[in-house]
Structure 1
Amino acid sequence: MVGNSLLELFYVSKLRITTSPPHSAVNMATTAVVTPQQVPNGIEHKENTTAVSTVSSWTTPQFAPHPRAAEILRQVEFYFGDDNLRQDAHLLGLIKEGNGSVSLNEVLSWRKMKQFKPMSAVREVLKQSTVVEITGNNKRIKSKQPLQKSMTVIPKINDNRKRNTVPADKPWLTKAMLKATGFEEYATDGPVKPAEFEQDREEYDPDIAFTQRIETAVARFTSKRKMHQNTKLIFDKFMIFGGIDCGPQQFTGGLSKAEMEDLTAKEIAERTSCYGVSERVVDGLDYDNEDGKAKWIVDFEAIAEGFLSSQFMSMSIWSDEDRVRTATNVLRNFYNYLLLHEVCPEYKDQLMAARKVCDLAEVELIKLAEVDVCLPGGFNTACSTLFGGNYAGLYASEGDWVNKDDDLGWSDEDAKIVFLTGIAAYGTEEQLARVEALVANGGSFASSFRVVSTEKLGLEVVSIELMNDEAKNIYEDSNFINTVVRPMGKLHCIRWEVPHAPPMDLPKSVTEAKKPKEFEFLLEEDTLKFCYPGLKMEAEAKELDIGIKWIDYFEATYASFFTWLTNERIREWKEPGPPKAWMLRQMGKGDGDGEVVPYDRTEDEVDDDDEMD
C-alpha cells in the first residue's frame, strides 16, 4: 500500500521515538468492596460495648492523654468492629461517602462519644488503637483493615443522624451555610396546600399583568430560599439578564417586630424583595407605544439558552462541573416554582423547554470544556508548525526556564511524523504520491506546499467519523508506541454564521460563492469522543494546494444551543441628546455651499462647551 511505503521511508531516517517513564504505582489504602445482601434496611445502630472480639488496651494508664482512654478505645473500636459495622447502614454510608474514612467531628458528635473531651486528647488516644487510625491531617478516622464479614444492610446515610460538619477542604463554610437552602438538586416545593392554592389563584390570575405576576413570584420564591454567595450571584445575574432589576424596591430598611405582626407573609416578602421588572422592559412590553410594536417579548427558553451559553460562561469558570450544576439547578428550581404555582400558564410550554435547556447544558458544557482544552489537536498543530501557521517557530527546546505544562510549540520532527501518519491513514492517492516523492527526495515541507486559503469563520459540527480499519492498522503499529502520534478520526463541519461577528464589507452573494460550505478536519479520537453534532466554534482554517485543510487556531467553542442576546446592552442604552458645540465644530455642519452654518447653542451646551475649554 502506498501509505505503508511512505511511512517506511520516514522510519529509516526521521522517526523519533519519544519515550516517557512508566507511571509509578500508587498504593492507596481502601476498604474492601463487598456486595451488599439485599435485606431490609432499618437495623438500628448498636451502641452497646459488649461482645467485642478485639479491643485495644491502654497499657500505661499513668501516661494516658485522657483519664478515660480505655473507654474511648473500647467505644470507637466497637463502632468500627466487624460485628457492628456490617449491620450499621449509616456508618457504612459515611465510610463510602468519605472513601473509607469518617470525619472525627462526626464520630465525636454521637451520643456515647459526646462525653469525651477535649478532641485533641481523644485523638491522641485513638492513635494508639490497633483497630482504627487517624488520617486526613488528623481530622478523619478509618479502619485499619477492610471489613472481613459480609454486610447485612445496604449502606445509606441517615440525614437525621448526620452531623452538619465543616468539610476539611472547605474551612470557610459555617454550620449555617450547611443547612438546607431549597436549591438542593432534589428539593421540591410541593404539594401545594389548599390554602396556598387559593392564594396562588388570587395573586397569579391570568387577568393580572404578567410583569406584576412575575414580580410577586420572584419575591415569594426568594423569600423561601436561602441563598449563599454562589447561588445569589447566579440568580441575580440571571434576573438582570432576563429584564429584572436587582436593588431596593418598595422598602429599603429593616422591618420591626411590631410592623411584621401587622403584615401578611406575602406583604413581608414584597416589601423586603429587591427584585422588580425593569422600567425599560415594562415600557417595551407595551404594544400601544409609538410604532405599535413591542420592544421586548417574554421568552423563557431563549433567556435560558442565552444565559447558560453566553452570560454564565463569561462570568464563571464554566469548565468546573460543580459550578455548571449549581447554575442549571438554580434556573431549573426557579422554573419548577413557576410551574408548580401556575404563575404564568400561558408560557407553560416555554418553561418546559427552558428546563430541557438546563438538562442539555449539564451534558454539553462538560464535554465542551474537554474539547476547549484539546483543540486544535495534534494533526492541526503539526500542519500549523510545518506550513507557517500560528504554531510555526514556537518550539522551545528543553531548558531550565521551560515548564513542561506550557504550550511551547512542536518540533519539526514531531510535526512531520504526525502529518505523514495522517496522510498515510486518510490521504487520497494524489496526496500520498506527492508527499511520498517529497520524503524520498528529502525536500522541504515549507517550500514544497503552498497555502492557498486562510479564513476566519464559524464552524458547526455535523458528524464525527471514528477510525476505519485501514487507519487503525496504521495507528496501532508498534513504531508509534510512546510517540506523539495519536489515533485520529474525522470531524465534519459546515459553516456557521457567528451572531456577534463584525459585518462583512462585501455582500453575501460575492463572499459565499467562493467559499466551501463543508469542511473535514483530522482530530484525535480522544478529543472526538467529547465532540457532538451542533457543537460550534470560531476558528481560523487554512488549506494547502493539495487539498488538506486544518484548524490553524481556534478562538472559542460554543454549545449547540448557543444564543446571542443583547439584553444587557439594550437595557443600558440611552437615547442620545443634541450634539455638543465642540462636536458641531468638528463636523463642520454646512449649508451646501461649503460654509458653516451657525448653530444656536442652548444654555446647557454653552456651559458644557465652557467646561470643555
Structure 2
Amino acid sequence: MESLTPRSTTPTEDPPRAAAPGEPTESSPALDNTKVHVNDGTAIPAEEKKKNKNKKRKPAAKKRGTGFEEYYCDPPMTPAEYMEERQVLYPPHRPFIERIVECIQRFRARRRLDSYRNDLFSKYLMLGGIDATARQFQGTDKITDDVLADADKSAVREMTAEDVIQRGVGGNTNPRFFNPNDAEHWSVDFTGVAAGFLDSSEHIPSLMGRNEADIRKAAEVVSSFLRYVDMHDVCPEYADDIKRARKVCDFAVEETPILNKLSQLLPGHFNTSLRVLFVKDDADNEVFCVQDDQVPDVKQAKVSHATTMSIVVPEQVQNTSASAVISTSTVIGTKEQTYEVRAITLPTETQRAMYKAVNRHLSGQGSIPEIQPCGTINTRPIIIRDGWDNSATATIPLEEDVDTQFILEEDILKLLRIGMKLRLRVCTLSTGLKFIQHVRQVLPTFYVFLPQELMLDFKAPVENDRPAKSIHDIGSDGDDECAED
C-alpha cells in the first residue's frame, strides 16, 4: 500500500497548463480579469476597482422646476399641513392682513422666482399697497446662530421676509403703502390691482412696452399667485374677486396682440379718406396709431367715400350725388374724446355683395385699390382717470352723453371687443357724420387707473434747517456761478 505524505504548505507556482482550443492563455494580461497589478506591487481585484469607479461618479443634478411650467401643480398636502393651514395659518378668525402676508411669504418660498419674475411680483405687490422694497441688514447672515437654532422655518421666513404690511407702530409708517391705522382710503380689490398692473397703458407697458412675451410673463406671475391664494383658501371672503382677477390675467394675454394690431390698422381707410377730403391742416405730432397702408390720394378718397356712404349709410346721400356731398360738406367741429365700444355691427352679406360688385367694376381701371367692406360701431363718451388733475373733476355734458356711431373696415371690427376704450380726435361734418381724424390711444376692456400708481415714486419731504442761498452767499462755498436778476 502506498504511503500518504502531507502536502507542503509552502506556496508554489503551479505548472503552466496547456490551453484548450479557443481558450485564452494565462500569460495574456489583457484578458486576465482576476487581478490587476498596480505600480506599488499590490493586487486589486478588477471587480472592486470597478465599484470604486462607480462610487466616484456623482449623479447629475436634477433640474428643479420653477413652479411656472405650463402643467405645474403643487404637491399634495399631508393631513398635518392641511390642519395647520385651516387652524393656524389661514383660519377665518385671523385678521386678513396677517393671512395675506403669511400667504405672500409662503408663495415666495414655494416658487423659484428668477430676478425678472421677482421684480415683477414685487412691483405687483407695491401697486397693491404692500411694502416689498429691499431692506438692509435683513438676511440669514445677519441672524446669530443661537437664534437660528431656536427658530423654525416659519420664524426664519418671517425674520427675513421683504413683503410686509406696515403697522405704523412707533411712527414707522410710509405714506406710499397701506397702513391698517388709516384704512378708510383703501379697499381689498384683487381685480382692480391685477387690471391696473397688467393693462396695456399704465404700469407694465411703461416698463417694457407692448411686448407680448413680457405681458404674458407678468400675467403668469400674477395668475400663479392668485391661484395659490385660491387653492389654499387664504381669504374665502374674497373668492369671487380672486376669480375675476384671474380672468383679467387671461384677458391681458388675449388682448395685447389685438391692441398691437389695432394700433396699426386704425383709423382705417375710410376715415383716412375723409381726413384727406375735409381736413386741410392736418399737422399732428401726437398720433399714437400709425397705419400700415399709405394715405390715399384725392381720387381714391372720393371713390372710397362714395362707395361706403352709399352702401353703409345710404340715407345720408339719397337724392344727391357723392360729388355734391363732398363739395357742400365742411367740418363744423373737432373734439378730443374717449369712447367706449358698446356695440359692433359687421357688414351684411348683401353689403359684401355690393362691395364685391364695385370692386369688380374698379378692377378694370387698375389705379384704384380694392375697397374693403365696412360696418359700424356704437360708442359712448366716457371719462377715464389717468392721474392728471383735469381728469379727476372732468364730466360729460348731458347733451353729449349719447351714442356715437363710427364707420370702420371689417378687419378692424373683427378685432375690436365690446368694452375697449378709444381715445380719438373726432371731426363732425355739416351733414352730421362723425369720422375719426386721429387715434391717440387704444385701451383694453379691463382698463383701470389706480391712485397708488402716483405714489410708487413718492418721497416724503424732509425738513431742512439750512437757509436758502442768497446773492450774498455767492463764492462763499467755492461756487463761481453768478446770480442773475
TM-score by length of 2: 0.70
**Is 1:187 matched with 2:72?**
yes
Residues 525 and 188 from structure 1, CA distance in 2 versus in 1: closer, same or farther, beyond 3 angstroms? same
How far has the Cα of 1:522 moved from its partner? 1.2
How far apart, in 2, do the equivalents of 1:497 and 1:364 lie?
21
Does structure 2 retain, via aligned residues, the 8 Å contact 1:182–1:225?
Answer: yes
Aligned to 2:390: 503
Aligned counterpart, 1:275: 163
Deviation of the 1:332 alpha carbon: 1.3
Residue in structure 1 matched with residue 468 of structure 2 by the alignment: 608
Name the CA distance, whole Å, in 2 between partners of 1:182 and 1:506.
45
- Unpaired runs of 5+ in structure 2? 1-59, 167-172, 474-485
Q: Tell me if structure 2 keeps the 8 A contact 1:243–1:281.
A: no
Tell me: CA distance 1:315–1:370, structure 2 relative to 1, closer, same or farther (3 Å): same
User: Residue 212 in 1 paired to residue 98 in 2?
Assistant: yes
2:295 matched residue in structure 1: 409
Q: Matches of 2:240 and 2:136 in 1, distance apart?
A: 32
Query: In structure 1, what is the Cα distance between the partners aligned to 2:445 and 2:84?
Result: 40
Alignment of 1:205-604 (within 5 A): 205-249=91-135, 251-255=137-141, 263-278=151-166, 279-280=173-174, 285-286=179-180, 294-309=184-199, 310-320=202-212, 322-388=213-279, 409-438=295-324, 445=326, 448-477=328-357, 478-480=360-362, 483-500=369-386, 503=390, 512-515=397-400, 517-570=402-455, 573=458
Range that drifts further, 196-205 or 330-339: 196-205
1:325 to partner: Cα distance: 2.7
Aligned partners of 2:338, 2:259: CA distance in 1, in Å?
A: 16
Distance 1:489 1:252, change over 3 A: same
Change (3 A) 1:389 1:331: farther
Q: 1:415 is matched by which residue type in structure 2?
A: A
Percent identical among aligned pairs is 27
Moved more, 405-414 or 234-243: 405-414
Aligned partners of 2:273 and 2:301 also within 8 Å = yes
Letter in 2 for 1:479: H
Do 2:129 and 2:178's aligned partners in 1 also have CA atoms closer than 8 Å? Answer: no
Check 1:202–1:504 CA distance in 2 against 1; reply closer, same or farther (3 A cut). closer
Which residue is equivalent to 1:46? none
Consecutive unaligned residues in structure 1, runs of 5 or more: 1-163, 165-174, 395-403, 440-444, 579-603
Deviation at 1:221, TM superposition (A): 0.8
CA distance in structure 2 between the aligned counterparts of 1:254 and 1:473, rounded to whole angstroms? 73
Q: Give the match's secondary structure for 2:100.
A: helix
State the 1:323 CA deviation.
2.9
CA displacement, residues 144-182 of structure 1 (integer Å, 9 cap, x when unaligned): xxxxxxxxxxxxxxxxxxxx9xxxxxxxxxx99x85210
Please tell me whether Structure 1 or Structure 2 has the larger radius of gyration of its CA atoms.
2
How far is the alpha carbon of 1:257 from its aligned partner?
Answer: 11
CA contact under 8 A between 1:381 and 1:552: conserved in structure 2? yes
Q: Secondary structure at the match of 2:342?
A: strand
Whole-Å separation in 2 of the counterparts to 1:572 and 1:316 = 17
- What is the distance in 2 between the residues matched to 1:454 and 1:345? 50
Query: Counterpart of 1:305 in structure 2: which amino acid?
Result: A
Shift of 1:556: 0.9
What is the number of residues matched between the two proteins? 392
Taking only aligned residues, the RMSD between alpha carbons, in angstroms, comes to 3.7
Counterpart of 1:185 in structure 2: which amino acid?
E
What is the letter of the counterpart of residue 457 of structure 1?
A: Q
SS for the counterpart of 2:131 is: strand
CA distance in structure 2 between the aligned counterparts of 1:216 and 1:181, rounded to whole angstroms: 20
1:106-129 per-position Cα deviation (integer Å, ceiling 9, x unaligned): xxxxxxxxxxxxxxxxxxxxxxxx
Structure 1 residues 437 and 357, CA gap change in structure 2 (3 angstroms): closer
* One-letter amino acid matched to 1:453: G
Quote the offset at 1:356 in angstroms: 2.3
Aligned partner of 1:106 in structure 2 is none
1:268 alignment partner AA: V
Q: Superposition pairs for residues 83-94 of structure 1, below 5 Å? A: none
Q: Kindly tell me: are residues 409 and 187 of structure 1, through their superposed partners in 2, closer, same or farther at Cα, counting changes over 3 Å?
A: same
